[in-house]
A = this chain, B = another copy of it.
Amino acid sequence: MAYPVEKLREEKVFKDPVHRYIHVRDRVIWDLIGTKEFQRLRRIKQLGTTYLTFHGAEHSRFNHSLGVYEIIRRIADDVFFGRPEWNEDDRLLSLCAALLHDLGHGPFSHSFEKVFDLDHEHFTRAIILGDTEVHKVLKTISPDFPMKVAEVIAKTSKNKLVVSLISSQIDADRMDYLQRDAYFTGVSYGHFDMERILRVMQPGEDQVVFRQSGMHAVEDYIMSRYQMYWQVYFHPVTRSAEVILTKILHRAKALLSQGYSFKSYPYHFSSMFNGKITVEDYIKLDEAIILYYFQMWQEEEDTILKDLCRRFMNRNLFKYAEFDPAKEYKKLAELSGLFAKAGIDPEYYLVVDSSSDLPYDFYRPGEEEERLPIHLLMKNGEIRELSRESEIVDAISGKRRTDHKLYYPADFVKDHSTAPAVKKEICKLLEIDESRY
């Protein structure tokens, strides 16, 4: 049975720099965009601290969520519409899941989730199923519609085809963010021929498949993804900002548990600190709130909290050195001792950070973060996994690349109050050219 979908009297359009226009004809989509939970995504940056490296990257998750929706809309309305394998009932389900897939993201998600042991996927589900404006809108479709949407986003839905549209190795989420992040950062990677990829997509039994004739466009997408990861997402300066952000949260948590008396008490975080955060509290969290505290904390007594907040607000970041954890754990211990001697707390000021990516993976069940492999539909009707057809994808598939770096405040090290012998030793170990100070 098809959903009783109400159409708007007149199509609404959003001007979008990436997809040119975003088109909305369904009342339910229009209403979802208008909810306060969705509008909150305007106050959460798509790329967290990346704007401190690429100043153009100030775009929000609101932006991206509309983009993912639009890609699915084009697939549903221009590509799949009328095909026997496509169930028109899945259209609205796909559209809503696309629009809402990032709903539970908090401010600077990555750091927050690590420090407070939170999970944005949990909150996405909680917002969709809880007593929220989003939930009310979704229920107008049918009583079980919110649950269906939540299951698609959680990848637990039995509707594998729809799941694969939203999360696989070549889904609408990735296709939007690669292009959008490239556009806003201004880098020349991130371009691929999405129009062609959409044209060769086809609904398969439990997954989208791509007609072989579009293989090269898919290869190009994989390469774009590879470049964006290493050039943008894992940029060491961005990671430096994230290291500081994480350490601020750690420090605040530690101070709170020690009973430290804040000038500006972190009311907004307290339920997180004690692990009892409600959906209502959660959706009040946005980046404005975080930045408010960071600004206020520049006036705290605690020198570590104060310093780290100043660093973040004024972009006075940590420097970095290459680091090989397998071989250099001794050096790290040594440095830790030297930092302590110099009066620089190594817990907050000497940080190893690792990034790791798998440019493309064929299916290995059970692995963390597994995403469905890409399947080609050959001219003879056979289905083949991409890396078996593409030499270039085969060459890079399954190869995990990891990068470790050691972050530290160069300005502290070079500070005049540090004992010269300690300073010299630190510089030697970190391969800093001392004469430059």
Digitize A186-229: 1 where CB-to-B-CB distance is under 8 Å, 0 elsewhere: 11110111011001000000000000000011011001001100
Nearest chain B CB to A283 CB, angstrom units = 10
Which of A166-174, A250-258, A312-320, A346-354 forms contacts with chain B? A312-320
Which of A35-43, A92-100, A144-152, A369-377 forms contacts with chain B? A35-43
A233 at the interface (CB under 8 A from B): no
Q: Which residue of chain B has the shortest Cβ distance to A19 in the bound complex?
A: B186
CB pair B195 A21 closer than 8 Å:
yes
Which of A110-118, A284-292, A415-423 forms contacts with chain B? A284-292
A295 at the interface (CB under 8 A from B): yes
Which of B15, B21, B56, B288 makes the CB contact (< 8 A) with A63? B56
A66 at the interface (CB under 8 A from B): yes
A131 at the interface (CB under 8 A from B): no
A13 at the interface (CB under 8 A from B): yes
CB pair A220 B216 closer than 8 Å:
no
A303 at the interface (CB under 8 A from B): no
Known contacts A21-B195, A59-B56, A186-B17; is-contact A227 B219 (Cβ 8 Å): yes
In the complex, A192→B224 CA distance in Å? 11
Which of A153-161, A271-279, A332-340, A393-401 forms contacts with chain B? A393-401
User: Interface size on A (CB < 8 Å)?
Assistant: 67
A 381-420 contacts with B by CB, 8 A: 391-392, 395-396, 399, 401
Interface residues of A (CB under 8 A from B): 13-18, 20-21, 34-36, 39, 42-43, 51, 54-56, 58-60, 62-63, 66, 183-189, 191-193, 195-196, 199, 216-217, 219-220, 223, 226-227, 230-231, 284, 286-292, 295, 310, 313-316, 359, 391-392, 395-396, 399, 401
- Assuming A188-B193, A191-B191, what are 16 further A-B pairs, CB within 8 angstroms? A14-B55, A15-B186, A17-B56, A17-B183, A21-B196, A42-B58, A56-B63, A58-B59, A188-B192, A189-B220, A216-B231, A226-B392, A286-B291, A288-B292, A289-B292, A289-B295
